[in-house]
Structure 1
Amino acid sequence: MEKILEVKDLHVTFQTYGGEVKAVRGVTFDLYKGETLAIVGESGCGKSVTSQSIMRLIPNPPGKITNGQILFKGRDLTKLKEPEMRKIRGSDISMIFQDPMTALNPTLTIGDQMIEGILQHQHVTKEEAKKKALEMMDLVGIPSPEFRFKQYPHQFSGGMRQRIVIAMALVCQPEVLIADEPTTALDVTIQAQILELFKDIQKKIGVSIILITHDLGVVAQVADRIAVMYAGKIVESGSRREIFYNPQHPYTRGLLNSVPRLDVDGAELVPINGSPPDLFSPPVGCSFAARCEFAMEVCDKVYPFRTFLSQEHHVDCWLQDERAQKLFLTKT
């Protein structure tokens, strides 16, 4: 498969009144053409900061990319000037922001907001831009697009606003789409429709998707690969099957155990005890050690080596060390 995006050893910090927050700490992943990569983790783990860094939307100050590369088709986005990034945003890489209720300008018609990006990135007339916008509105399932084109955001339901936001992100046919919690504000019925829409659009236009979410139910339906993020680091990554059926990091297991199970009688939710670490002064060792029931002395002192379980599946955990496996086998 063709590699379209590479994030290498990305570090992002924020200067605050209390000190420096190390929000993203050495994140590395690849995105291939036509696939969906899900980045999952609880709130505050650095998912959205990572996605906004790819788009170079981190406000500086207080935020800053302090190290790493973001390679889009071989070009390092961290080195580009703002005028060059403006040409890429919306045209080559687009983003769907978290809340469809606030992502649209309430003072402009849907049509004006749809054609703005087309006119910015493509050399077309206003009539040609309108035609492209109407075609995309139809593709994402907006009924009567000609009529809806003239309406304002307050005249749309939550689900329809989300479809419009998706249409706006795709109207210039980008190669990468970043969807940041695209179903959070929607009820479960509309969520299912939006997820089906993602799959249909990907088949039709071949866009590569980075899906940012904390909802493993969403991930199970659409992701090809999953990267599990905790305290600014990716602690486990693998195919959807590997993560759901062979999770190796205690945090990944904790996330899966906290998902409601309707297919198992008497299944109970098992919460992850404790709180994430303070990223003003992150731990030297494994960030999950304080909450992990399997934590050993080494976990607090040294960050674990990366262990590759397959070509796609890797995990950062001391439990993969053969000495730890012997220890636990002896105890059991």
Structure 2
Amino acid sequence: MEKILQIKDLHVSFSTYGGEVKAVRGVSFDLHKGETLAIVGESGCGKSVTSQSIMRLIPEPPGKIHGGEIIFKNNDLIKLKEQEMRKIRGANISMIFQDPMTALNPTITIGEQIMEGIVQHEKLTRTQAKRVALAMLKLVGIPNPELRLKQYPHQFSGGMRQRIVIAMALVCRPDVLIADEPTTALDVTIQAQILELFKDIQKKTGVSIILITHDLGVVAQVADRIAVMYAGRIVELGTRREIFYQPQHPYTKGLLQSVPRLDIEMEELIPIPGTPPDLFSPPPGCAFAARCPFAMEVCKRVYPFKTQKSNKHHVDCWLQDERAQKLASS
């Protein structure tokens, strides 16, 4: 499959009064055309910082992208000037933020907010922009779009506001859509509708989606591949089936044991003990070692090499190293 976006060895940190927070520490992954890649992990692991770095929305200062590449259409987005990035944001790469109410301007009609991106990026007249906005509202399932264009955000329910934010992100037909916790504030019924909407839109438009979430239930429904993130690094990446049925990293296994599942029998949920490490001074080895029941001395001292389990599945864990495997089998 064609690679539409490539993240290579991305490093992002934030300067604070207490020191430098190393939020993203060498993240690498690819996004293919027409696929949904989910990035999962605990709060504070660097998921949102990674997505905002792709959009170049990290405030500088205090944030800073220290190294790496973000390749989109043969261009390194990190090296582009702000004026060049403005042409890409919304038009080629769009983002849905966590809370739709804070993403919408309460003083402007939703029609004006949707048409703003069209007028700016596609240079259409207001009449043409209105026609596109109406079509987009129909696509995301908003009834009576003619009437709804004239209304304000407070006149919509939470689920409807989320649909409007999705319409705003898709109105310029982007190649990549980044959805940062798009269902967090919604109840289960509306959440299911939004996930179905994502799948339907992807079929109709072919957009590639990066889904940022901590909810493995969301991941199970829509993701083609899953990247498991911990303490600023991607520790395991594979297809949905590989991550759910053949997890290799102890952290991935811990996540799966701590949430209810209907596909396997579970006597009780097992929480992951301890807390994530302090990213002011991250450990030199595996960041999960202090919480891992299988940790060895090398885990604490040296970060593990990447072990390839299949064409699409790799893991950063010393337990998967061939030398550890030989010891385990002897």
1:1-332 aligned within 5 A? 1-262=1-262, 267-329=267-329
Partners of 1:322 and 1:74 in 2: CA distance: 36
- The amino acid across from 2:230 in the alignment is Y
Q: Deviations over 1:10-61 (max 9, x none)?
A: 0000000000000000000000100000000010000000000000000000
**Which of 85-94 and 99-108 deviates more?**
99-108
- The amino acid across from 1:96 in the alignment is I
Q: Deviations over 1:275-326 (max 9, x none)?
A: 0000000010000000000000000000000000111100000001233234
Deviation at 1:181, TM superposition (A): 0.3
Partners of 1:136 and 1:73 in 2: CA distance: 25
- The amino acid across from 2:323 in the alignment is R
Structure 1 spans left out of the alignment, 5+ residues: none
Deviation at 1:102, TM superposition (A): 1.3
Q: 1:154 to 1:2 in 2, by over 3 A?
A: same
Q: 1:144 to 1:292 in 2, by over 3 A?
A: same
Deviation at 1:158, TM superposition (A): 0.2
SS in structure 2 of the partner of residue 217 of structure 1: helix
Partners of 2:270 and 2:198 in 1: CA distance: 31
Partners of 1:206 and 1:83 in 2: CA distance: 27
Partners of 2:218 and 2:321 in 1: CA distance: 32
- The amino acid across from 2:260 in the alignment is P
**Which of 259-268 and 111-120 deviates more?**
259-268
Partners of 2:265 and 2:223 in 1: CA distance: 27
Partners of 2:193 and 2:49 in 1: CA distance: 27
Deviation at 1:97, TM superposition (A): 0.3
- The amino acid across from 1:66 in the alignment is H
Deviation at 1:266, TM superposition (A): 5.8
Structure 2 spans left out of the alignment, 5+ residues: none
- The amino acid across from 1:166 in the alignment is I
Q: 1:262 to 1:245 in 2, by over 3 A?
A: closer
Partners of 1:164 and 1:201 in 2: CA distance: 13
**Which of 318-327 and 181-190 deviates more?**
318-327
Deviation at 1:328, TM superposition (A): 3.6
Q: 1:266 to 1:48 in 2, by over 3 A?
A: closer
Partners of 2:134 and 2:328 in 1: CA distance: 61
Partners of 2:237 and 2:322 in 1: CA distance: 20
SS in structure 1 of the partner of residue 29 of structure 2: strand
**Identical-pair percentage:** 80
Note the aligned Cα RMSD (angstroms).
Answer: 1.0
Q: Deviations over 1:62-92 (max 9, x none)?
A: 0000000000011000000001000000000
Partners of 1:177 and 1:263 in 2: CA distance: 30
Partners of 2:44 and 2:329 in 1: CA distance: 35
- The amino acid across from 1:202 in the alignment is Q
SS in structure 2 of the partner of residue 237 of structure 1: strand
- The amino acid across from 1:104 in the alignment is L
